[in-house]
Amino acid sequence: KAGVTQTPRYLIKTRGQQVTLSCSPISGHRSVSWYQQTPGQGLQFLFEYFSETQRNKGNFPGRFSGRQFSNSRSEMNVSTLELGDSALYLCASSLGPSPGGKNIQYFGAGTRLSVL
Amino acid sequence: QKEVEQNSGPLSVPEGAIASLNCTYSDRGSQSFFWYRQYSGKSPELIMFIYSNGDKEDGRFTAQLNKASQYVSLLIRDSQPSDSATYLCAVSGGGTYKYIFGTGTRLKVLA
């Protein structure tokens, strides 16, 4: 069974540009979560999608947005890039919501974004 | 107060010793607890999950949960240099049902 696939693996952009990252979850998984990881802040939750609906959202500005398609693939978009957006962006998939939050998340390899 | 707290380390242990990693959380309603290992430059990999108070063992790894004291720990027995990594604690099932991660503890196993 294929794991979580994130594309592209590396991106270099300049300030003010926008970027779109893609995530294909494990087959059969319907929930996708996105995280930003930086050395100083650790893993910060961006948002979670299930059945094409955003279920949860972290404390990020509106420049960060996402969506999920009917095949459970997800994209996240960052507009008007800032230097501070340089980070590793991780996608995690799970089967979906479960009582007590017992859904196990599996991570993709990540997309490393550098903003110059 | 951070929602999930971990000592950033590094925690250095000699090869063959027991490494003990700790995590505390603030949301008393949390129900599910996870430990991920992350090697430098790689993505997090799940190594243990625990839902009930007490101990759960899997090979060299033991997760311990104490909901009354709001802490969860990970013990690594017979530590190996290949265990050197950052260990992330994650908590879920609280009010928002999000996964909340700690900032991780860096473990160094000395050969």
pLDDT in tens, B13-55: 999 999 999 999 998 888 999 999 999 989 999 999 999 999 9
Determine, for residues B44 and A90 on separate chains, whether the beta-carbon distance falls below 8 Å: yes
Residue B33: closest CA among B17, B49, B19: B49
Determine, for residues B103 and A42 on separate chains, whether the beta-carbon distance falls below 8 Å: yes
Whether residue A104 contacts residue B34, with contact meaning beta carbons closer than 8 Å, is answered with yes
pLDDT band at A102 (very low <50, low <70, confident <90, very high): confident
Q: How many CB atoms lie within 10 A of CB A43?
A: 25
pLDDT in tens, A10-57: 999 999 999 999 999 999 999 999 999 998 778 999 999 999 999 889
Determine, for residues B31 and A41 on separate chains, whether the beta-carbon distance falls below 8 Å: no
The mean predicted confidence, pLDDT, of chain B is 93
Degrees to nearest 5, angle at CA A20 with A19 and A24: 155
Give chain A positions within 8 Å (CB) of B63.
none
Query: Using CA atoms, how far apart are residues B56 and B102, in angstroms rounded to an integer?
Result: 20
Determine, for residues A45 and B93 on separate chains, whether the beta-carbon distance falls below 8 Å: no
Can you give the length of chain A in residues? 116
Q: What is the pLDDT of residue A98?
A: 80
Higher pLDDT, A39 or B81: B81
Q: What is the pLDDT of residue B95?
A: 63
Can you give the length of chain B in residues? 111
Higher pLDDT, B97 or B39: B39
Give chain B positions within 8 Å (CB) of A105.
34, 46, 90, 99
List Cα–Cα distances, B8 to A73, B23, B89, B94, B106, in angstroms: 34, 11, 11, 24, 6
pLDDT in tens, A56-83: 899 999 999 999 999 999 999 999 999 9
Determine, for residues B94 and A101 on separate chains, whether the beta-carbon distance falls below 8 Å: yes
Residue B89: closest CA among B77, B104, B99, B76: B104
Give chain A positions within 8 Å (CB) of B97.
55-56, 97, 101
